[in-house]
Structure formats: structure tokens, C-alpha cells
Amino acid sequence: MPEQQGETDELFEVKTQFYIGNYQSAINEAQKLKLNNPVLKLERDVFVYRAYIALKKYGVVINEIHGASPQELQPLKQLAEYFSQPSKRESIVLKLDQQVSGNLDVNNYVFLLVAASIYYNESSYETALKVLHQSDHLECRALMLQTQLRMDRLDLARKELKTMQEIDDDAILTQLASAWVNLATGGEKLQEAYYTFQELADKNAPTALLLNGQATCCIGQSKYEEAESALQDALEKDSNNTDTLVNLVVLSQLSSKTPEVCNRYLSQLIDSAPEHPFVIEFQNKERDFDLLAKHYVPPAYIC
């Protein structure tokens, strides 16, 4: 599905709300639109279904996208099934491998994003990059940058940011990508990243995504009170946001909160996102500690 070119983007507000993590508002804005162009209608539907997936409303996507639905929407059903049915993930990935190795329509950026998102979630970062590099779509470039940062390849992410800036320097995705790179760079760049998140929040809305960005900047600068304020605001907007809960767990340790406070956030995180990498790593460390503790024999002291 090609990108829409023109002076006025009728989906601008829908895209903006989606990119800053205001998913319900993106759905609401999409429902207000009166579109005549069938290509725009299809792109609107893509963002609506992606927003439902982000809200973990997988059933809506699975039930509404069927065999007769446009080809561009089919990958979104695949993504919804992947997230909602853990027992089927292996078969979904195997099918995806076949699709990627076949005749791939590089103009269908939705499929590229879905495939890369699944590979990213599977920690198959190299495969995700191979899928994404075939497109110049700004979202594909942004996901490439995120993947490179996840791989600790800040050098590649900086190059990707330059490519995004050449495509559209003013786009919200490019501004967010700049903030992510500055955040990963650290040092003086943390303040630049903070200002970017703040500016986007002032222009649009202080979403959990943007507030977490600000909080992470503050944590990196040891501004723990400011970080806590931002995270509490984020928690009020979405009490189960995994990034918020992870950051609160980390902040609780750094700011010497009582163990009860930290454990409360950790328990909430485990309940809401048991498969989150942070949770899995914590539980693995916990098992390792318990195993070592069983083999530990205190030294005998002679009185």
C-alpha cells in the first residue's frame, strides 16, 4: 500500500495520536473521518486495527479481518493472533519464515512492519532488519532504528536517524527517533531528549509513552523526584503500562524506596505482562539465587 502524498494529509491526526501512544484517541479520530478515497479508507483501517492491537483488544482485529478483507489488512490479523495465542507462536513464526523467503511485496509496508515486529519480539533482530531494509517507508526506518538500539548498535541507529531526517525531518516519527538516539547516547543529550518528549506532549497530549521518555531522561540525570512525578502521571493514564511499571521498579531501587513499594510494582508487572523480558530475566535470576542458596552451607564456627 503506497504512502499518501499531497499537501493535506487527512489522516494526520490519526497518525499523530497513534505514534505518541494515544491509541484510543487515534481510534476516535479515525471514526470521525468522512473519507471518499478508498486508499485513504484502507490506510485508516490499518491504523485503527493497529491501535486495537496496541490496546490488547485482539479479538476485535481477529473477528473483523476475514478472508475477504483487503490483503493489506491480513498481516494485522496474524499479529493479533501472535500476541493473543502464545501456544501458536511457533507455527505463526514458521509461516512467517515462508512468507519472507518467498516473493515479498516490498510495497506492502504493513506486512513488513508486522513481520519485523514478530521477529523483534522473538529477539531475531537480524531477521527483523533484513525484512525492514527493503523499504524506505518512514515507519520501517523507525523500527529499524529501534531494533538497532536494542542490539546496542548506536552507530547504526545514528546513521538511520540521518536517513529519516532526509526523508522527513519534521515528522513526529523522526522527532521521536531523535529522542531515542539522544536517550541512548546519554550525557548532555539526555536533556535534548527530554525537551523533545516535552514538546511533543505540549503540542499533543502527555501520553504514557511520552511521560516514560521524560522519566527515563530524568533517571539518567539522577533527577529521581521528577522521574517519579512523570511516572505517576503515566500510571494514572494506564495502570498496566509495562514501560511505566518497569521504570517504577528501577526507580524504586535507585531512590531507596521500601522493599514493599518495589515489590508492589513488580507484582503488578508480573500480573499484567508475565512474558515481558524484564520479568523473565528477573525470574531467571531469582531461580539462580534460590539454587545457589540451597547449596550454600554456612561455615562452622568453633566457640
Name residue 145's amino acid. L
Q: Report how many helices (DSSP H) and strands (DSSP E) the chain contains, helices first.
A: 17, 0
Residue 235: which of 223, 224, 222, 248 has the closest Cα?
248
- Taking only the tens place, the pLDDT of each residue in 142-177 is 999 999 999 999 999 999 999 999 999 999 999 999
Q: How many CB atoms lie within 10 A of CB 156?
A: 16
Residue 2 confidence (pLDDT) above 60: no
Residue 1 confidence (pLDDT) above 70: no
Rounded-to-integer distance, Cα 255 and Cα 271, Å = 24
- Taking only the tens place, the pLDDT of each residue in 76-118 is 999 999 999 999 999 999 999 999 998 888 889 999 999 999 9
Which superfamily does CATH assign the domain made up of 190-302 to?
Tetratricopeptide repeat domain (1.25.40.10)
Q: In the predicted model, what is the mean pLDDT of residues 38-61?
A: 97
Report the pLDDT value the prediction gives residue 299, as an integer from 0 to 100: 67
Q: How many CB atoms lie within 10 A of CB 89?
A: 15
Rounded-to-integer distance, Cα 289 and Cα 259, Å = 18
pTM of the complete model: 0.89
Residue 177: which of 167, 48, 208 has the closest Cα?
167
- Taking only the tens place, the pLDDT of each residue in 239-288 is 889 999 999 999 999 998 898 999 899 999 998 888 887 888 877 887 77
In the chain, helix, strand, coil percent, each to 5? 75, 0, 25
Residue 1: which of 46, 36, 37 has the closest Cα?
46
The share of the chain scoring above pLDDT 70, in percent, equals 95
Residue 210: which of 13, 25, 20 has the closest Cα?
20
Cβ pair 19, 173 in contact under 8 A:
yes
CA 78 vs CA 24, 74, 189, 203, 275: distances in Å: 21, 7, 38, 34, 19
Cβ pair 76, 114 in contact under 8 A:
yes
Q: Could you tell me how far CA 19 lies from the centroid of its own chain?
A: 10
Domain extents for the chain? 190-302
In three-state secondary structure terms, 215 is: helix
